[in-house]
Structure 1
Amino acid sequence: MPATHGPQATDLETIARTGGRFRRMAARVPTYLADVRENPAWLPMFLLARTMPFRRAHWLTARRVPPASAAASSIFGKLDAARIADELRRSGICSGLMLPAEIREEIARFGHETPCFGNFERKLEFLASDHEQAERRFGRTILSGHHFERVMQCEAALALQRDPLLLDVARHYLGGEAQIICTRTWWSFPTRSASDADLSRASFKYHFDLDDWRMLKFFFYLTDVDETAGPHVYVRGSHRRRRLKHQLTLLVGHPAGEVLDFYGEENAQALTGSAGFGFVEDPFGFHMGTVATQKPRLMMEVGFGVSRPSRRRYHGEPVIR
């Protein structure tokens, strides 16, 4: 059969990509239906929170931040939550958080000593140090390993999620109703056998999160992260404006070229740092995890929102009510 070139080839590639997107959307329908049954308010959020007019209208309902009180001291020292929130409003991201050594080491120890679940599948259970053997044993490419509810067994992780600075920043940015909704730890693994299908199912493409009308996420590296360890990338300023095409589709992931052409390649910030490095972002901005090429990455996330959380069936971490 002769090779296909030109416009026809482009059309076929577009059809293939579109077909893949529809298959992924169809696979999520049972999850969406379960979310609606559990929390009917989820549906209008899912449909409307991606559009800027409805999103801005919802931000106007934010409650005023309660007066400062003599809260317990933070493990991060005397950082100014209001100034962090101001930076978040400008760029969507703020770095400079650093975990104390004892907290970082205890969570890292938990990550190394506690079995994780590969690719979000509970039947793929293994220790991070056994990653290569696990790929051979299961006959699968394994790009990630999540600890799911096991993170709640780590006292240092619980201390971090309860730190008063995190809630203070969340309330200054999201409003007085901000509440913690999830905590998770996970590994990202380098692998030599990842296919395009593997990468399309992971978070290795620019996307935005749509789990609530207003959200904030804190991330902390528990291992050293350089360009070879899958650094997180955030497109600064993309939380404040949204291309119309990206508002009128149910898809949250989009090709890198399409995203960077509109929001500016110069605004894509890759976050690298030593173990303990942390940052906070508005996940409505476009972001992605890059593929680890040489070294595994252990990461922790603490998420805040403003609505009653639904179960995170696609992530598996415990919902905190």
Structure 2
Amino acid sequence: MLSSANSNPKDLEQIARNGGVFRRMVSRIPTYLTDMRENPAWLPMFLLARTMPFRKAHWLTARQAPRQESRKPSMFGDLKAETIAAELRSTGLFAGLTLPTAICEEIARFGHETPCFGNFDRRFDFLASDHVEAEGWFGRTILSGHHYERALRCDAVVAVQQDPLLLDVARHYLGGNARLITTRTWWSFPTKNASDADLSRASFKFHFDLDDWRMLKFFFYLSDVDGNSGPHVYVRGSHNRRRLRHQLTLLVGHPAHEVLDFYGAENAITLTGKAGSGFVEDPFGFHMGTLAKQRPRLMMEVGFGVSKPSKRRFHGEPVLR
């Protein structure tokens, strides 16, 4: 069962350290150029979807969710897609999902037994249990380890990805043309001496996602997550309104004090829970991962959007210089 708590603004500000505006923008240029080459429609989305008038106009194009006479049984029981979608429209967040124990254990076993790529870089390949040694082998701090396409070798990952409730929720929230665009599993590791560039790349900063005009992301903890294990933080209601200065900048990440002052510190919810706990959010709302201070965190994401996904985006892989 997930639990949530209002976050301490001072703690969040310490976690969400700035990495330098220019440095962050430069590091993302290769990814942006690749997105443009793969799909020319990406650029107008990236420029305009951050503004509320264009965003709301695009929501008007959403098709009604198809009527379903019956839905195949879901591993999540009798949860109603309509109820979840209504909560998402109101707050941007629903935190009542729980993976079956067998599914959670199978994915966790996969995460422990399958090598991951450190800091999004395919040159750094290691088992999670070898994290400390890997930092010595590669001579650098490693904050995260992604499995990329290897995740789809796990039958339990595929079962979660294809569960009928997820697509049903996505269609009720995003519209009838909702489609799967991301599936990934990754580790967040406790480490020392992380650079500002590492922290920025790992999304330890309040930000919103701009991978599509309309998106929805399901997250599942595959290890126990408390305040020292890198819990996810979401700012409720921030998906429905946006400060003008946050619309008129190419940056998606902003300092914690700036976000919390405008959207309300009381709306910053830190999500903790046992392995198997899950939640779904509209990632246009401000959110961030936090540093795993004492224990590593294993997590899974399944994302839906309304545009054709790229192979790289499907696994959340950036383009590194």
CA distance in 1, matches of 2:316, 2:205: 21
Q: Mark the CA change 1:317 to 1:198 in structure 2 (over 3 Å): closer, same or farther.
A: closer
Structure 1 contact 31–313 (Cα < 8 Å) conserved: no
Unaligned runs of 5+ in 2: 1-16
More RCO (CA 8 Å, sep 6+): 2
2:4 is aligned to none
1:90-109 to structure 2, matched below 5 A, reads: 90-109=90-109
Structure 2 residue identity aligned to 1:81: A
**Shift, 1:33, TM fit:** 2.3
Query: What is the SS of the residue equivalent to 1:242?
Result: coil
Unaligned runs of 5+ in 1: 1-16
**Shift, 1:311, TM fit:** 4.2
1:213-224 to structure 2, matched below 5 A, reads: 213-224=213-224
- Deviation per CA, 1:168-196: give whole Å up to 9, x if none: 00000000000111100000000122233
CA distance in 2, matches of 1:251, 1:298: 28
CA distance in 2, matches of 1:204, 1:295: 16
Q: Is 1:37 aligned to residue 56 of structure 2?
A: no
1:19-58 to structure 2, matched below 5 A, reads: 20-58=20-58
Structure 1 contact 85–169 (Cα < 8 Å) conserved: yes
- Deviation per CA, 1:119-156: give whole Å up to 9, x if none: 00111111001110111111110000000000010000
Which one is further off, 214-223 or 309-318?
A: 309-318
CA distance in 2, matches of 1:67, 1:51: 32
1:115 is aligned to 115
Q: Mark the CA change 1:18 to 1:227 in structure 2 (over 3 Å): closer, same or farther.
A: closer
Q: Mark the CA change 1:229 to 1:214 in structure 2 (over 3 Å): closer, same or farther.
A: same
2:154 is aligned to 154
Q: Mark the CA change 1:61 to 1:95 in structure 2 (over 3 Å): closer, same or farther.
A: same
**Shift, 1:24, TM fit:** 2.6
Q: Mark the CA change 1:300 to 1:262 in structure 2 (over 3 Å): closer, same or farther.
A: same
**Shift, 1:310, TM fit:** 3.0
1:90-239 to structure 2, matched below 5 A, reads: 90-239=90-239
CA distance in 2, matches of 1:201, 1:67: 41
CA distance in 1, matches of 2:213, 2:172: 16
CA distance in 2, matches of 1:184, 1:313: 10
Q: Mark the CA change 1:53 to 1:287 in structure 2 (over 3 Å): closer, same or farther.
A: same
**Shift, 1:315, TM fit:** 5.9
**Shift, 1:36, TM fit:** 1.7
Structure 2 contact 23–197 (Cα < 8 Å) conserved: no
Structure 2 contact 222–297 (Cα < 8 Å) conserved: yes
Query: What is the SS of the residue equivalent to 2:20?
Result: helix
Question: Larger C-alpha radius of gyration, 1 or 2?
Answer: 1
**Shift, 1:222, TM fit:** 0.2
Query: What is the SS of the residue equivalent to 1:249?
Result: coil
Structure 1 contact 149–316 (Cα < 8 Å) conserved: no
Superposed CA RMSD in Å reads: 1.7
Structure 2 contact 98–278 (Cα < 8 Å) conserved: yes
1:288 is aligned to 288
